[in-house]
Structure 1
């Protein structure tokens, strides 16, 4: 009896221990899952917060820009609209050129397919011709005489079998020929459609290019009137100071946003690239102007680069576009944030290729050059800023 109690106690204790260990294991598992879930949730919340900060910052800049645009003169407003029209037309031209390229590729594929089918058609016609000739030769032998000669009974069977096979083959090849002819007819229709499409696209491209040239001439005229207006009022210095102040105000807005959100941190510190950055576009430098940039390891450099209007402008380093719009005194302006509070500025563009929020790589096209801000000199004005200074 005592032994039975001992055994029962041992079993009960073991069972309790098993339940205890299971409970602990399950508890640790649940805690681990809960911790992982909390970490994932924390990361997601952090990303959402960062995204909302960026969006709020962009909205803040847009509001500031709307307010700044209300202070523009009539000539400046006309210039702004003209330059924006140039960007839209340039983008439309790029899209149309891409469509034309795709249509040409499609046309080439269809033509290649047509050539393949025509080769098949020629082969089928050759085979059909051989079969018809063979059938003709057989029909012109003394068939019945051969058929009723008992000594050639086996040969007759073979003859009938052969004739049957030829008839079947002829029927099959005729069917293939009909199918190939249908395919060829359909391809001809597709080819004609693609040719009409490419003709229409080329007409559209010509119209867009004409509009682009007209917009460019209009811009030059408006810019000339604006320059004359500023000169006649003897307010050149005041205008330049106002334009510079507007740029500084914009950079302060951007600096505040990039500090909060840390939009882009490069793998290589931007300051270590001094003297090794590629130019944003090839061309002769008009008038380099150097200013000390506080405690920055890179001097603030503002350079005017001579280049034909329409030359591709490329990012000097990886980063994110934080501004891409028209600004008084700068024209169409692109600002790229390279992280660690470094910004690159590209102003006087003819057309923009990027939007706010776009990530760009070194050497990637971000715009096409136009005229140096406030002049009729073709080229681009470029600056690097550190901490907005």
Structure 2
């Protein structure tokens, strides 16, 4: 008996020790994750300062475009959130109204059933129970009749209780419906204000683009600008590859290279160029794919990873870069708005941005690249 007790105590002690070790390991993992995130944010902050210094030579018109497009991005993100909130409120209001209609039908049916019970009780009650008791000759018939009385009384009581509950719920639904309708009206008004503000911002953007067009007077200056923008993006990607892409990806994330040819495209649309082809007949080549899209459509991360850059960059507009581990990056440029920020973990198929035309583009669409150890690779080899 003593041996059994000692064994039980030892087993409990062992379990307690294992739980303590697990807790310590979990705390250590959390500390490591937080340190890694802080380190990542520090590196991204330094990277952005370096980028800002490199881009200080741009014209006042280009600076204005940057400010306007960033404002448009923030406003478009708020607009998306407000629109989603309104949809949720509309669904909730519809559910409440549907419940109200169901209760009203239920009320009518219960009212009719109660009336039927009253008529039945009146019919059975023409002769009192005492009179039936005195006049009955067959005991079994007497018992059955008394059972009927008891059944009708219980049924009538139950229906009256249900009827009261229905009326009570109907009364409680009315203020909920009124409050939800008021909230929906306020959200709709806010959505309208944001849409109007977005239109004004887009007009300012059009004016800024017109100023940039006047600065670029010929094809040579256009190609020079294109070359500078390409080099600027290359510098950012090299800095990201050099400083940031050593973060540890969780083990439960499937390796990027195991998904070759199986990943979805970030948006559904026509591919507008061929990877590696010349751009405008110059020495600058396409190192990614331009995909046609509708303004505001979701841009999806092609695989699990962590956002390592999310900001405006000359030539790329609102840009987001996701590190997938193993030296692989995916790049999404010319967005209207950015839905995630640096340090965020994202899953494959999760929205990270919305399609736009930032970076001075005239048509809405997405520029998409995949990189391995800093070198571009054809996205068509990776996406379905």
TM-score (norm 2): 0.71
Spell out, residue by residue over 1:43-88, the C-alpha distance to the aligned partner (whole angstroms, 9 max, x if none): 6665454334223212222433444564443212221222122222
Flag the 1:386–1:152 CA change in 2: closer, same or farther, 3 A: closer
Alignment of 1:23-38 (within 5 A): none
Structure 2 matches for 1:1-389, cutoff 5 A?
40=25, 46-47=32-33, 49-68=35-54, 70-130=56-116, 132-133=118-119, 177-231=163-217, 235-262=221-248, 267-270=254-257, 273=260, 278-290=264-276, 301-371=287-357, 373-389=359-375
Q: CA RMSD in A?
A: 4.4
Greater gyration radius: 1
8 A Cα contact 1:336 1:343, kept in partner: yes
State the distance in 1 between where 2:32 and 2:154 align: 75
Q: What's the counterpart of residue 11 of structure 1?
A: none
Secondary structure of 1:290 counterpart: coil
* Higher alpha-carbon deviation: 312-321 or 300-309: 300-309
Compute the displacement of 1:329 (Å). 1.7
**Structure 1 residues 171 and 376, CA gap change in structure 2 (3 angstroms):** closer
- How far apart, in 2, do the equivalents of 1:137 and 1:211 lie? 72
CA contact (8 A) 2:318 2:337 kept: yes
Alpha-carbon distance in 2 for matches of 1:259, 1:168:
74
Q: Is residue 117–residue 156 contact of structure 2 (8 Å, CA) maintained in 1?
A: yes
User: Counterpart of 1:338 in 2: which secondary structure?
Assistant: strand
Give a deviation string over 1:133-184, Cα, whole Å, max 9, x none: 467678988x9xx98xx97699xxx999999998998788667645533332
Count the aligned residue pairs: 346
Structure 2: runs of 5 or more not aligned:
1-9, 138-142, 278-284, 376-384
Unaligned 5+ residue runs, structure 1?
A: 1-24, 292-298
1:359/1:300 CA distance change after superposition, 3 Å: farther
Offset, 1:326: 0.3
Give, in angstroms, the shift of residue 185 of structure 1. 2.2
By how many angstroms is 1:333 displaced?
0.8
Q: What SS does the aligned partner of 1:83 have?
A: helix
SS in 1 for 2:81: helix
Query: For residues 205-224 of structure 1, what are the alpha-carbon distances to aligned partners after superposition, in whole Å with 9 as ceiling and x for unaligned?
Result: 23333333333333233223
> Within 2, Cα distance between the matches of 1:301 and 1:361?
24
